[in-house]
Amino acid sequence: MFSHAIARIPGPDYPQGLTTSTLPAPDLDLALAQHDAYVRCLKSLGLTVDVLPPAPGFPDACFVEDTAVVVREVAVVSRPGAPSRQGEADSMVEPLSAHRPLARITDPGTLDGGDILQVDKRFFIGVSDRTNEEGARQLAAILAGHGYQSDIIHVAAGLHLKSSLNYVGENTMLVTADFAGHPAIKGFRQIVCPEGEEYAANTLLVNGTLIMPSGYPRTRALLETLGLPIAQLDTSEYRKMDGGLTCLSLRLESPVS
């Protein structure tokens, strides 16, 4: 169960962030309203949320998940693969140190938290345009020191691993068609997002509730077969910047005492 989360408010320069999207630029006021709804949703599920102020000069800084990988024993501060984002990780050292001992990914490793999926004591680490082999190796070694197993997966499509693959409870993975049947997730039931609803693969499981982006009814119908509560949030202004529900927070379980 998650007890805590860290989020960061988008700054005035948010629309100038990195994106591969061809959608129109985000509306900052709407992005702020959607972020507030996201924080309120986490709080409704029992989490205490630290909401950090904007980080001037880092328009992508609201996507805090990319800056760290947090388990009960340690917070691993990342080294984002986009050079313009590497200062974001430094800005998270103080907030994270209030909750965990720290470790760091070091040069020449790069790693974005959006490429990291945890299922209990097992990690799936995506090697992508943002996370390189060395970053994946460093993270796997740090996690192994705390009893975690890691599988490294090469991401052929999508910005991050969690653009295409997320754990939704009940021994089930929600995947895009390009990840369906992947050997690394053999043994998991798989729900494949219908064509045209691939963005919904970025669905977040928090304390027994699925938080999914609104506007994907066919995917919702498939997720309803799991019997879990579902909350829908509008993430239109984050999709425009290649972001989604998992990106907007770092979720923390109670630390090891």
Task: Decide: helix, strand or coil at residue 214.
Answer: coil
Q: How far apart are CA 241 and CA 174, in angstroms?
A: 22
| pLDDT at residue 157 tops 90 | no
**Residues 6 or more apart from 44 whose CB is under 8 A from it?**
none
* Residue 257 pLDDT: 62
Tens digit of each residue's pLDDT (9 = 90 or more) over 30-80: 999 999 999 999 999 999 999 999 999 999 999 999 999 999 999 999 999
Answer yes or no: 41 catalytic: no
Least confident of 39-48, 113-122, 177-186, 231-240: 177-186
Domains contained in the chain, CATH given: 2-253 (3.75.10.10)
Tens digit of each residue's pLDDT (9 = 90 or more) over 66-115: 999 999 999 999 999 999 999 999 999 999 999 999 999 999 999 999 99
List 4, 41, 160, 193, catalytic entry? 160
Answer yes or no: 247 catalytic: yes
* Residue 159 pLDDT: 82
pTM (2 d.p.): 0.96
Q: How far apart are CA 216 and CA 214, in angstroms?
A: 6
Q: How far apart are CA 7 and CA 213, in angstroms?
A: 18
